[in-house]
């Protein structure tokens, strides 16, 4: 047991060395064993159980930005519910020391989970829209249909007057 570290699988309770990140038997993320440090218990174990191995490889990639800590945490928790691990960090140039939760935050995921994260955020309508602000698609469609109706009414009245 001297070669095994304090990592343990939350599903099958198998101990593993420190250089292993996922259980070879069941594919679950490993957490620290609940020893005197209290590492493998509670919230960290619950969060680790949700992570899917296929989304945990590669360098971190920014997939979203929150306007503050609370919004970024909401996005990170939404991704975690889909099994995508994420990291929240303060955006460059958003250092606001007097208000620690204020300021923009980047939400990063491993490269293998970037596409799934973007799809999840698109479905939740939390993706980055690139700063473009325009009319909502429903309002645009209603305006076009209204203009079309007015045009049809004018043509109909003109044909009645001519005939």
- Owning domain of residue 149: 133-163
**6 and 25, same domain (yes or no):** yes
**21 and 38, same domain (yes or no):** yes
Give me the CATH number covering residue 107: 3.30.70.1530
Greater confidence (64 vs 137) lies with: 64
**62 and 128, same domain (yes or no):** yes
**36 and 19, same domain (yes or no):** yes
Q: What share of the chain is helix, strand, coil (3-state, %, to 5)?
A: 40, 15, 45
Highest mean pLDDT among 3-12, 62-71, 130-139: 62-71
Give me the pLDDT at residue 121, please.
Answer: 86
Q: Alpha-carbon distance 103 to 91, whole Å?
A: 8
Greater confidence (47 vs 154) lies with: 154
pTM over 0.85: no
Percentage of the chain surpassing pLDDT 70? 76
Give me the pLDDT at residue 120, please.
Answer: 87
Q: 11-61, pLDDT tens digit by residue?
A: 777 787 877 778 888 777 777 765 434 444 566 666 666 777 778 788 989
In total, how many domains does the chain have?
3
């Amino acid at each position: 047991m001297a070669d095994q570290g304090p990592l343990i699988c939350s599903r099958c309770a198998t101990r593993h060395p420190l250089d292993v990140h996922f259980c070879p038997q069941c594919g679950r993320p490993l957490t620290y064993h609940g020893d005197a440090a209290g590492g493998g218990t509670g919230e960290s174990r619950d969060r680790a159980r949700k992570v899917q191995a296929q989304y945990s490889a590669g360098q971190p990639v920014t997939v979203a930005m929150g306007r503050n800590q609370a919004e970024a945490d909401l996005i990170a928790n939404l991704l975690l519910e889909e099994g995508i691990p994420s990291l929240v960090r303060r955006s460059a140039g958003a250092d606001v020391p007097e208000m620690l939760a204020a300021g923009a935050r980047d939400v990063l995921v491993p490269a293998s989970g970037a596409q799934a994260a973007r799809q999840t955020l698109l479905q939740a309508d939390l993706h980055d829209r690139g700063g473009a602000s325009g009319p909502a698609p429903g309002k645009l469609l209603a305006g076009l249909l209204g203009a079309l109706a007015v045009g049809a009414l004018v043509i109909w009245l003109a044909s009645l007057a001519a005939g």
